[in-house]
Amino acid sequence: MIEVVHVSKHFSNETVLKDITVTFERGKTNLVIGQSGSGKTVLLKCIVGLLEVDEGDIIYDGVVFNKLNFKDKKSIRKEIGMLFQGGALFDSLTVEENIIYPMDMFTRMTTEEKKERANFCLKRVNMENSNHLYPDELSGGMKKRVAIARAIALNPKYLFCDEPNSGLDPKTSIVIDKLILELTEEFNMTTIVNTHDMNSVMEIGSKVVFIANGMKCWEGTNREILHSDNQVLNDFIFANSLAKHVKNTIKN
């Protein structure tokens, strides 16, 4: 379980997050939704400690993460897998080397064990036999899948995904979403996914947090969204006329 307590964050000229308090539960795919530029990535980076919070606390299963020193943070980071928006695979390394990298940093596994684990992870995301390709030889969806394989390489307790579907076609998006959902349940992880993709919300959003203008505006399950009266949320979710029509039909 990850708790975000009264977190604020500002950059030199603007306030991006204002007093956000939210709880993300274990074994669930928690979704953070909001317009592009609303601060989803900043929130995620504050949670994993890539950005320092200005106020408030980030609590991992009872441990106040943002107050830890570098060494103790590292022991929690070992439990974190993160999927970045563009994949963020290391260009100069092959697919296999990319997946082995976190094992090199955190463990004392032998070369054999590392390769075996890498193959297992690749198989899990249906990317077997791509071990010796370089990231620029892969398509967008393949990159994301390799990035997921890298994120789960160390069997993390926490999985973070920043816009896992951005730049992907709807069908590939669903494959990635399903993969995230399955992995979350399989390994009982606490998963947080940033997205602005409504298909994902409906497919995998067991808990949805809506952020607008840096504030938490709404939270609930994907089913509850259909019945919500929150105007800002409705404007965001049911942006096109077809969706508006669906919503009205449900209501009546």
Ligand X SMILES: Nc1ncnc2c1ncn2[C@@H]1O[C@H](COP(=O)(O)OP(=O)(O)O)[C@@H](O)[C@H]1O
- Using an 8 Å Cβ cutoff, are 17 and 9 in contact? yes
| Residues 33-62 close enough to bind ligand X by CB under 6 A | 34, 36-42
Residue 90 in the binding site for ligand X (CB under 6 A): no
Contact 132, 97 (CB under 8 A): no
Binding region for another protein (CB under 8 A): 45, 48, 50, 73-74, 77-78, 80, 82, 84-86, 88-91, 101-102, 104-106
# residues contacting ligand X (CB under 6 A): 10
Decide if residue 130 touches Mg ion (CB under 5 A). no
CA distance 35 to 10: 18
Number of H helices, E strands in the chain: 10, 10
**In 3-state terms, what secondary structure has residue 10?**
strand
Closer to Mg ion by Cβ: residue 29 or 41: 41
48 binds, among ligand X, another protein, Mg ion, none (CB under 5 to 8 A by kind): another protein
CA–CA gap between residue 182 and residue 81 (Å, rounded): 15
Q: Which one, 51 or 226, has the nearer CB to ligand X?
A: 51
Task: Report the partner that residue 37 touches, choosing among Mg ion, ligand X, another protein, none (CB closer than 5 to 8 A by kind).
Answer: ligand X
- Tell me the CA distances in angstroms from 234 to 115, 205, 231, 245, one per residue in order: 48, 16, 5, 12
207: partner contacted, choices Mg ion, another protein, ligand X, none (Cβ within 5-8 A by kind): none
Confirm or reject binding of residue 41 to Mg ion (CB under 5 A).
yes
**Cβ proximity of 192 and 44 under 8 Å:** yes
Q: How far is the CB of 156 from another protein (least distance, A)?
A: 10
Where do contacts with Mg ion occur on this chain (CB under 5 A)? Answer: 41
